[in-house]
Amino acid sequence: MSNVYEPREIEPRWQARWKSADAYRAKNPGEPGFDPAQKKYYVLDMFPYPSGSGLHVGHALGYVGTDIVARKKRMDGCNVLHPMGWDAFGLPAEQYAIQTGKHPRETTNENTQNFKRQLELIGVSYDWSREVDTSDPTYYRWTQWLFTRLFERGLAYRAQVPVWWCEELKTVLANEEVINGRSERGNHPCVRRPLSQWMLKITAYAERLLADLDGIDWPESIKIQQREWIGKSEGAEIRFALAGHAHETLTVFTTRPDTLWGATFMVVAPEHALVAKITTSAQRSAVEAYVAAAASKSELDRTDASKTKTGVFTGAFALNPAFDAADPRAKVPVWVADYVMATYGTGAIMSVPGHDERDFEFARKFDLEVREVVRAPSGSKALADGACFTGEGVAVNSGPIDGLATKLAKAKAIQLLEQRGVGKSKITYKLRDWLFSRQRYWGEPFPLLHLEDGTTVAVPDDELPVLLPPMDDFKPASDGSAPLARAQDWVATVDPKTKRPARRDTDTMPGWAGSCWYWLRFMDPSNAKQPFSKEAENYWGPVDLYVGGAAHAVMHLLYARFWHKVFFDAGIVHTSEPFQRLFNQGMVTAFAYQGADGRLVTSDEVETKGDAYAKRGSGEPLTQIVTKMAKSLKNVVNPDDIIAEHGADTFRLYEMFMGPLADSKPWNTRDIPGCRRFVERVWRLFVDTENDKPIRAHFAAGAADKAIEGDTLALEKSLARATKRAEDSFQALNLNTAIAGYMTFVNDATPLVSSLSRSQAERFLRLLAPFAPHLAEELWSRMGMPGLIVQASWPGADVRYLIEDEIDLPVQVNGKLRATAKAKKTANSAELEGIAREAVASHLAGKEVVKTVVVPGRLVNFVVK
């Protein structure tokens, strides 16, 4: 046994030992050794796409954080579920496979092996017996089974709808996967195309997805993003008759039915079905040109709010139901303009330029009437000032609702519309149904059969899984048709019920499908009869702490909540929400260097000159900036390299010591030696390196413990403070302060090591164990402590030692610190004031003390004139 700290020897040894002891195995109810008295704790990482480039230190940040929490919870006596798996289906895996020319099955296996190797290197305490791979038939069998439940409930339907198509990726994409008209993955341009696709009726859950956000402990920013994405608006639907078209009506949605009396024109989206019907012959060529131009514009151009408004008059007029048909105000022109979205509301609006910015801008440009119908409260900018007023006020020029405040005016207007049968109250959501099919190879096949009679039925549960057919050429077809359609022997099958010929559905599910329920599979991962047992779900659900990046705010986290609610309705799970607490880890950024012209220089070309940076060779001065890690900047850091040099414990400590888990912060390899030195100091605190002995004699098994007095008492207090700080740090997950506390303790203990008792030493190791488990385990073993430290209990802080009997009393004069005096902790106000007065006597001389503030146990402040 070497008495020099050698992580490369220590770490693999303990990792093997933990594995052979099955130290991180979580037991389900009913299993031998299951203890019903233990509380359960489910701490989950967002499982990764096993990409070809492996883990970098940013992924590891979250994994180290949850690992420390999991280890702490085990020490607290909880039955901890802390699993890991692979989100292996989907576009990235398939693209990587295409790039390398290998089958995705093969690359996925290689990549998951590499990820697992990296995670094991870090020493994370996953229960690997629960590992899942979403692309494994034993897993996707149940994804298909759960999809069937959605299908049975009418939540999956096939529809010809305008969907996003990405030519570069040769696939359709969900709304959530398209940002400003470009693909979320790869940033390729996308266009809308009407295609027949599988849709999931997430809109049926819009209200519950919104309302249930209130009951979960999630970051407010994520809740806001989900609320905005769901986009609930309350208002009214109003039907306008069209002059000269007795059988057509123009229906609009508005959140301000109270402004109906101010609607001076109508606007329909270029895609609106009525455009062709109502356009007059005089306007036809202009309208057709406008519609054609709108269709050819990119989504980005269409939706750019900063551009000036465009539009064309259709020649048609609508009749505002607020007015009698004979009233000259009733007849309003109908325009086509692309600032109205075809996909929201009814694709048409009533324009109230007096009280809507966009309508106001449009009316100004085309010289349309602006009528005031809401009087602004005095003091705010109103129509009279040449501005449009969008706030709440009092209705004017509005006949029956005149004089009513906006809230009442809305209600009254809706009531009038309903009485007259021309409108009703209406709630609209921005949320669209979820485009759920892809014409790609690497995904779950839909467990559906198309029968001869044109109907579609689910494959019976006992015929699942529907296996992906093995294909050598899995590339997407250039025309967008499904690759699975080329597997003709696979497509042609027989309906098990009728024994009649049937054709398999050739679409696959999107990458999100597997992640819509994986936290449930982890509860009971090898169940061959069900996706998971009721007992397992009842016990483990819901996830107590879910940690991952904020990037999934409206995709995975919304989809997962949706599926979970469907399961809840189907009686498959017992909670309506899957993740009780969500925590977003911050991004690990990296330094990058730029020249005076702003050009970035790859990090291997940079040299340090004291506090300054320069380009190697040329000596050009560079400035340090903070960016995302990027291959092109060569500033991506791989944990493997750090661990090879310093070991996993140092790596883990540095990841956490950088700052609070939630914060974004730059990786700085230069800072790592600080954590390495701490690890070495701990080592030397325990190991008798001077005499080349494995442990200091007074820490060895059987050594007599020391009485808690003198220096040992001082160390007891220091240890209590470190314990308290560590415990506090688990609340906000600012584990950096826990490590700082440990460093302080080691700094205190090092010069007094002969006074450090065996009990104090072993308790410190237990504090350290969640953070640096290998080091703690090695020293624990050298002390002759029984069992594994990773299965030991957390030592609580003894509050008696947190109380100081003597404090440093800050004494202020006019709020400024003038002296620090020693005072008994128990001293009363009068005694403190006396001590304080003496300490700052020179500052009080010749001054009048107007007021004295004494905060017992804290400070004294004299206010003088």
Site for RNA in 470-529 (CB under 7 A): none
**What number of chain residues touch RNA (CB under 7 A)?**
89
Contact letters for RNA, residues 785-824 (x by CB under 7 A): ----------------------xx-x-x-xxxxx-x----
Looking at beta carbons only, is 310 or 638 nearer to RNA?
310
State how far the Cα of 727 lies from the Cα of 370, in Å rounded to an integer. Answer: 63
| Shortest Å distance, C-beta 587 to RNA | 8
Contact letters for RNA, residues 174-213 (x by CB under 7 A): -----xx---------------------------------
Q: What's the residue count for the chain?
A: 865
Our finding on whether 3 is near RNA (CB under 7 A) is no
| Shortest Å distance, C-beta 680 to RNA | 6
Looking at beta carbons only, is 81 or 294 nearer to RNA?
294
Query: H or E segment at 729?
Result: helix 710-732
Please pick, from the candidates 22, 106, 304, 806, the single residue that binds RNA as defined by CB under 7 A: 304
CA torsion, ordered 347, 351, 353, 358, to nearest 10 deg: 10
User: CB–CB of 40/81 below 8 Å?
Assistant: yes
Looking at beta carbons only, is 221 or 538 nearer to RNA?
221
User: CB–CB of 688/783 below 8 Å?
Assistant: no
Contact letters for RNA, residues 221-240 (x by CB under 7 A): x--xx--xx-x-x-x-----
Q: Which of 53, 15, 30, 44 is nearest to 130 (CA)?
A: 44
Q: Determine the interface stretch with RNA among 21-29, 128-136, 304-312, 637-645 (rule: CB under 7 A).
A: 304-312
CA torsion, ordered 812, 818, 820, 825, to nearest 10 deg: -10
User: CB–CB of 93/139 below 8 Å?
Assistant: no
What's the N-to-C CA distance of the chain in angstroms? 70
User: CB–CB of 848/855 below 8 Å?
Assistant: no
Our finding on whether 309 is near RNA (CB under 7 A) is yes
Contact letters for RNA, residues 389-428 (x by CB under 7 A): ---------------------------------------x
Please pick, from the candidates 453, 611, 805, 848, the single residue that binds RNA as defined by CB under 7 A: 611
User: CB–CB of 136/518 below 8 Å?
Assistant: no
Residue carrying the six token digits 């020249």: 595
Looking at beta carbons only, is 325 or 849 nearer to RNA?
849
Window 241-270: residues binding RNA (CB under 7 A): 253-256, 269
Q: Under 8 Å CB-to-CB from 595, ≥6 apart: which residues?
A: 601, 615, 620, 621, 622
Q: Under 8 Å CB-to-CB from 45, ≥6 apart: which residues?
A: 62, 63, 66, 84, 547, 548
Our finding on whether 324 is near RNA (CB under 7 A) is no
Window 429-468: residues binding RNA (CB under 7 A): 430
Contact letters for RNA, residues 655-694 (x by CB under 7 A): --xxxx--xxxx-x-xx-xxx-xx-xx-------------
Q: How many CA atoms lie within 13 A of 637 on its CB side?
A: 24
**DSSP letters of 793-804?**
PPPPP-GGGG--
Helical spans, DSSP H, in 532-638: 534-540, 556-569
Looking at beta carbons only, is 359 or 505 nearer to RNA?
359
**Residue 216 structure tokens:** 């979960």
Q: Determine the interface stretch with RNA among 158-166, 568-576, 692-700, 857-865 (rule: CB under 7 A).
A: 857-865
Window 91-120: residues binding RNA (CB under 7 A): none
State how far the Cα of 775 lies from the Cα of 172, in Å rounded to an integer. Answer: 51
Looking at beta carbons only, is 734 or 759 nearer to RNA?
734
Our finding on whether 146 is near RNA (CB under 7 A) is no
Backbone phi, then psi, for 362, in 5-degree steps? -65, -45
The answer for 92, left when phi > 0, alpha when psi is -120 to 50, beta otherwise, is: alpha
Our finding on whether 740 is near RNA (CB under 7 A) is yes
Our finding on whether 837 is near RNA (CB under 7 A) is no
Query: H or E segment at 841?
Result: helix 841-844
| Shortest Å distance, C-beta 450 to RNA | 34
Please pick, from the candidates 79, 112, 437, 736, the single residue that binds RNA as defined by CB under 7 A: 736
User: CB–CB of 229/431 below 8 Å?
Assistant: yes
Looking at beta carbons only, is 269 or 642 nearer to RNA?
269
Can you say whether the dihedral through the CA atoms of 320, 321, 326, 328 is positive or negative?
negative
Our finding on whether 743 is near RNA (CB under 7 A) is yes
Our finding on whether 733 is near RNA (CB under 7 A) is no
| Shortest Å distance, C-beta 815 to RNA | 3
Window 331-350: residues binding RNA (CB under 7 A): 338-341, 344-345, 347, 349
Contact letters for RNA, residues 525-564 (x by CB under 7 A): -------------------------xx-xx----------
Window 58-77: residues binding RNA (CB under 7 A): none
Window 122-141: residues binding RNA (CB under 7 A): none
Q: Under 8 Å CB-to-CB from 709, ≥6 apart: which residues?
A: none
Window 347-386: residues binding RNA (CB under 7 A): 347, 349, 352, 356, 358
| Shortest Å distance, C-beta 73 to RNA | 22
Instruction: Determine the residue type at 227.
Output: R
Q: Determine the interface stretch with RNA among 72-80, 365-373, 464-472, 853-861 (rule: CB under 7 A).
A: 853-861
Q: What's the CA angle centered on 717, arms 712 and 723, to 5 degrees?
A: 120
Helical spans, DSSP H, in 162-280: 206-211, 220-230, 274-278
> How would you classify the pairing of strands 588-594 and 849-855?
unpaired
Beta strands in 628-748 (DSSP E): 665-667
| Shortest Å distance, C-beta 500 to RNA | 45
Our finding on whether 853 is near RNA (CB under 7 A) is yes
